[in-house]
Amino acid sequence: MNNEALQNIISSWIPELEFTEEGSEFLTISVKPENLHQLMNQLKSNKETNFDYLFCLTGMDWGKELGVVYHLESTTHRHIIVVKVKTTDRDNPEFHTVCDIWKTAEFHEREVFDFFGIKFNNHPNLKRLFLTEDWDGYPLRKDYVDEINMVIK
């Protein structure tokens, strides 16, 4: 199935979605946080799309916005898409977990929480993964200040 056919199917589910190809071969979907879980569930469960494999989940800091980028593949239909979700709430960034849809997201969401401070609602075990519990801040945010290395310099 080509990107145009995918877009036609997916756009019928949630009219507010934004689609781009951003110079890549993959269709990119931007979704509002309140529609994220519904979209992701439909992408996996719909027989025409059947995105059964979440192969990458990445936290992002776009400056004014924090967000998550998901890369999905259908191992039966052999198509790939990218889904982006963003929030301007840097003080309390949160999205619904997708680990109830793809189990592999559980680990990746913990990593994003650890390094970006993005909370995933309904995550079964959202806690720091690499950094200590007393770590102050989120080191992959653009506004993070590393006090220790500033003193050493």
pLDDT in tens, 50-99: 999 999 999 999 999 999 999 999 999 999 999 999 999 999 999 999 99
Q: Whole-structure pTM over 0.75, yes or no? A: yes
> What CATH number is associated with residue 138?
3.30.460.80
pLDDT digits over 120-131, tens only?
Answer: 999 999 999 999
> What is the model's pLDDT at position 21?
72
User: Which residue range is the domain that position 93 belongs to?
Assistant: 3-152
* Residue 38 reports pLDDT greater than 60: yes
H/E run at residue 9:
helix 3-11
Structurally, how many domains does the chain consist of? 1
Q: Return mean pLDDT, the chain.
A: 93
- Are 58 and 31 a contacting pair, CB within 8 Å? no
Q: Which of 72, 84, 88, 144 is nearest to 114 (CA)?
A: 144
Say if CB 102 and CB 74 are below 8 A apart. Answer: no
Residue 19 backbone phi and psi in degrees, to 5? -120, 140
